[in-house]
Chains A and B, each alone.
Chain A
């Protein structure tokens, strides 16, 4: 009833309330003081309690949906920003910032306010760019967290930067840790901070062709010096995460179905069913978002060899199988494998190691009961250390499980597709990565499938049927694929 008095709160409500009370009074007077009256009063109270619970349930769904909608809008906002930056559309990009926003790029310092940001963006080139200039900043691997009050948000993104100017090309990569503000229902960028991992001359690649970070511009001095001092590759820096480990620090979600008494009247039964259906529907959307977060956080942790954080993403019986190296069971064994097989915890500052394990193109399908899920992901890899760079390309087909309200990795399985040295790329080189006999420690179980990487062909089975026909994809035609003699793996 509080809802009614709050929202209506009018003469009409009052008259209705009065009339109601009159009616109730008459009814009460008319009734004799018997057990029947007691039951009627009790069921009226039950009814009122039930309505209150239903209102609370719907309010929770509304709140969750508001945050999910904001999540969508922020993803769209940052993607739109990237598409403008690509083309040197500085006015359009600057319009995405709030009036007093800040903008920080690498070690160039902090620009404050939309007008100054507009000028700082133009340090990248003339409006609209000139012939031969490439300024591609793809916006990738988002982890978006909207504050419960739906007024602010934070997000981590990454960009694989492709540049060209005066006939010279560059590769770059870095992470964003951004903030957003909801102004009258419109999300704007309130803080953009791009942390550069590396920029490298195209022809020599990272390792050999690293380009040191530029400092503050003399022509357009920033309002403030850089907030953090770091070097790009071969220097190592881990941009701070705005979020805790999405499994270890997760807040369990609780089943919130409204359960009315068995003898609920039909109108409330119907309403209870639709409120619960809505809550379930919204929860599935939240599940999908949370699973995407886990997978993307996994990528960011692998980037920086933060193996304990990776291991914490797994369920107690979760399994890990990458690159045909057998199956490791449970967080402890996962950690042992990562430390022994891939290197010590924390990325090496000594050699200028690069381990970018980028998680793209996720297809996440949550089971209708909301207890398990499956996901297919592309891992686009920039690796190497010292003077050598490496490209890699892998597919993940994972399963996830919700345990006590927290989503975790159940099975992580990656099939490497291609690894190739930077010099000559995948034309000249192919590094085999499916050698179950070539590593320590021994796995708990052998690989679930033996396969060959590029230049051979292998496709991890799709967890989903064709989204339109609903039919599973057929196995590949053996006549189409090839089998690689191992001798072909030697770089030319």
Chain B
């Protein structure tokens, strides 16, 4: 019944337009057709264009869904990175990177390729090969507040993240860490990988006195891991951490003003 009502509606509306547009011949034919019986609205030739349009709409919606799926995959990737390093899974974390990936940490410089990235991750985490952490260590680096933008071609993506970290060793030391990532991701053979990781540490503060008592850095403020394992390339951005004011560059324009 619903289909028939739809057909009638179509006929009437079409007829009205026909009159307006003086295509009387067609209208007469239409009326004649009605008199004969139900209009075969679904005749194969007639709805070919409807079907084509529907197919095109489905394709466009699939592309829209794919963008969300890609952003989800990138978020999963970065969160998985966090969960691996938290627990001393350096190999698993390094495997999330593309073969030609880079990792840049603060002013330490740029590490190139999975092997070097793994080495640096391990050193940052205390040097224990793992997987796992030694007794007494906490190494919790939370990956938070994503702003992920997938490129229109769906082949690359960029993401800004915030890290808050609980670090230390039982009866030895405790620290708060904080910083921002501006990362790039690449999709290779359908799999998203970390392509360029760039972590801008904001501070590493001893637990007792906290971040407010930190003194400005002087000169080269390379980390201990950066000293022990010199990077392959110099840093692309030189800056000073808190208490200096520094804003890691944004990969995106202002979401409202576009500036």
Task: Say if the beta carbon of A282 comes within 8 Å of chain B.
Answer: yes
Task: Say if the beta carbon of A164 comes within 8 Å of chain B.
Answer: yes
B58: contacting residue among A9, A58, A76, A425, CB under 8 A: A58
Verify A51–B69 contact, CB threshold 8 A. Answer: no
Task: Say if the beta carbon of B238 comes within 8 Å of chain A.
Answer: no
Residues of chain B from 181 to 196 with CB closer than 8 A to chain A in the complex: 191-193
Task: Say if the beta carbon of B18 comes within 8 Å of chain A.
Answer: yes
Task: Say if the beta carbon of A134 comes within 8 Å of chain B.
Answer: yes
Please give the distance in Å from B87's CB to the nearest CB on chain A: 4
Residues of B within 8 A of A418 (CB): 138, 140, 166
Verify B170–A426 contact, CB threshold 8 A. Answer: yes
Query: Closest 6 A-B residue pairs measured CB to CB?
Result: A482-B135, A18-B26, A47-B42, A169-B212, A480-B132, A476-B132
Please give the distance in Å from A148's CB to the nearest CB on chain B: 18
Given contacts A1-B7, A83-B147, A162-B178, contact A20 B160 (CB under 8 A): no
Q: What does the 1/0 interface line of A231-246 toward B look like (CB < 8 Å)?
A: 0000000000000000
B142: contacting residue among A275, A361, A468, CB under 8 A: A361
Verify B213–A481 contact, CB threshold 8 A. Answer: no
B38: contacting residue among A23, A45, A464, CB under 8 A: A45
Verify B135–A186 contact, CB threshold 8 A. Answer: no
Q: Which single residue of chain B is at the shortest CB-CB distance from A62?
A: B61
Given contacts A164-B212, A482-B136, contact A24 B43 (CB under 8 A): yes
Q: How far is the CA of A203 from the CA of B192 in the complex (A)?
A: 43
Verify A480–B130 contact, CB threshold 8 A. Answer: yes
Q: Which single residue of chain B is at the shortest CB-CB distance from A285?
A: B68
Verify B62–A281 contact, CB threshold 8 A. Answer: yes
Given contacts A83-B180, A131-B245, A473-B89, contact A41 B37 (CB under 8 A): yes
Task: Say if the beta carbon of B40 comes within 8 Å of chain A.
Answer: yes
Q: How far is the CA of A110 from the CA of B18 in the complex (A)?
A: 58
Verify A488–B95 contact, CB threshold 8 A. Answer: no
Residues of A within 8 A of B42 (CB): 43-48, 51
Given contacts A14-B21, A425-B207, A468-B193, contact A271 B55 (CB under 8 A): yes
Task: Say if the beta carbon of A82 comes within 8 Å of chain B.
Answer: yes
Given contacts A1-B41, A14-B17, contact A391 B166 (CB under 8 A): yes
Verify B255–A52 contact, CB threshold 8 A. Answer: no
Beyond A131-B243, A138-B145, 11 extra complex contacts between A and B, CB < 8 Å: A14-B23, A20-B45, A45-B42, A82-B145, A164-B243, A168-B212, A265-B44, A285-B72, A417-B138, A426-B166, A427-B168
Residue total for B at the interface (Cβ-Cβ under 8 A): 123
Q: How far is the CA of A294 from the CA of B256 in the complex (A)?
A: 29
Verify B174–A23 contact, CB threshold 8 A. Answer: no
Verify A459–B173 contact, CB threshold 8 A. Answer: no
Given contacts A24-B39, A25-B29, A360-B144, contact A49 B245 (CB under 8 A): no
Please classify how large the interface on chain A is, using the bins under 10, 10 to 19, 20 to 34, 35 or more.
35 or more
Task: Say if the beta carbon of B237 comes within 8 Å of chain A.
Answer: no
Task: Say if the beta carbon of B228 comes within 8 Å of chain A.
Answer: no
Residues of chain A from 186 to 227 with CB closer than 8 A to chain B in the complex: 186-188, 202-203
**Residues of chain A having any CB pair with chain B under 8 Å:** 1-5, 7, 9-11, 13-25, 27-29, 40-41, 43-49, 51-52, 54-55, 58, 61-62, 65, 68-69, 72-73, 76-77, 79-80, 82-83, 87-89, 92, 95-96, 128-134, 136, 138-140, 160, 162, 164-165, 167-169, 186-188, 202-203, 265, 267-268, 271, 274-275, 278, 281-282, 285, 288, 360-363, 365, 376, 378, 380, 391, 393, 417-418, 424-428, 430, 454-457, 459, 462, 464, 466-469, 473-478, 480-484, 488, 492
Residues of B within 8 A of A136 (CB): 178, 202
A282: contacting residue among B38, B65, B193, CB under 8 A: B65
Residues of A within 8 A of B73 (CB): 467
Please give the distance in Å from B61's CB to the nearest CB on chain A: 6
Please give the distance in Å from A7's CB to the nearest CB on chain B: 8
Verify A15–B174 contact, CB threshold 8 A. Answer: no
Verify B43–A44 contact, CB threshold 8 A. Answer: yes
Verify B58–A275 contact, CB threshold 8 A. Answer: yes
